[in-house]
Amino acid sequence: MKQLNIFEETTINRLERDGLLDYRPAFFSLDESVTFFGSLKNTIDWKQETLQIYGKKIKTPRLTAWYGDKNVAYKYSGVTFYALPWTPDLSEIKAKIELLAGEVFNSVLLNLYRDGKDSMSWHSDDEPELGKNPVIASVNFGEVRRFDFRNKKNPSQKHIINLGNGSLLIMKGDIQHNWQHQVAKTAKIKGARINLTFRKIK
């Protein structure tokens, strides 16, 4: 498994010409990150959803929430989510990352990983509602978690990024069509992490 060398302050990397990453490890200051983490943890309407995967109903191994513009809906694993209204914190974060991303986002999916037992399985953000080559901006507050990529055509081809507190990872180009990503379980992590993935529903 190959680890991407993308820990400089401003870095753009390609995954073998099959997608584009823009990683900013300290996009938000430490003070901003601590403040946003505490506020989001306490004010977001977190839920543990029940999804249908391969015909079985399972509870997500993390807490989630969906916020965005009025009447924005998103379907995932057989469940349709309707966006709650933007909060002041989410609007502030959104405005800051839109300047860099060059995209106007109309929704955000939030994930609260309570500890290392919480996870996200292999998947791509390639739902029809996102359109072709979507721009996904992933913001991270709290504990560092390992973020894995694997190539769809060659699953043995993998990359690792350690997403830190206050970091921003923008995935764009055809990355969602060529790669999957996951946040694996780990016994090493005891603290919580909040991840926000901003996107534009067509």
CATH code at 2-199: 2.60.120.590
CA-CA distance, 126 to 67, in Å (whole number)? Answer: 19
**What is the structure's pLDDT at 97?**
97
Higher pLDDT, 76 or 22: 22
pLDDT at residue 144, as a whole number: 96
Structure tokens at 187: 């016994």
The predicted-structure confidence for 88-102, as pLDDT tens digits, reads as follows 999 999 999 999 999
* Angle subtended at Cα 65 by Cα 63 and Cα 70, rounded to the nearest 5 degrees: 170
For residue 138, give the nearest of 106, 109, 112, 116 by alpha carbon.
Answer: 109
Give the model's pLDDT for residue 75: 75
What's the whole-model pTM score? 0.90
CA distance 173 to 47: 31
> What pLDDT score was predicted for residue 87?
98
Q: How many residues does this entry show for the chain?
A: 202
Which whole-number Å values give the CA distances from 87 to 23, 133, 177, in the listed order?
25, 27, 31
- Burial label for 113, CB within 10 Å (0-12, 13-18, 19+), is buried
Mean of all residue pLDDT scores within the chain = 89
CB 67 within 8 A of CB 86: yes
- What 3-state class would DSSP assign to 130? helix
51, 77 in Cβ contact below 8 A? yes
According to the model, what pLDDT value does residue 57 have? 83
pLDDT of residue 187: 95
* Residue (of 69, 68, 159, 61) closest to 119 by Cα position: 61
Question: Which of the two residues, 122 and 20, has the higher pLDDT score?
Answer: 122
Mean pLDDT along residues 10-17: 59
pLDDT at 20 over 50: yes
Whether the predicted pLDDT of 55 surpasses 80: no
Query: For 132-171, what is each residue's pLDDT tens digit?
Result: 999 999 999 999 999 999 999 989 888 899 999 999 999 9
Predicted confidence (pLDDT) at residue 6 exceeds the cutoff of 70: no
pLDDT confidence tier of residue 9, bands split at 50, 70 and 90: very low
Q: Is the pLDDT of residue 7 over 70?
A: no
pLDDT digits (tens, 9 = 90+) for 80-131: 788 999 999 999 999 999 999 999 999 999 999 999 999 999 999 998 889 9
Report the alpha-carbon distance of residue 15 to residue 151 in Å, rounded: 9
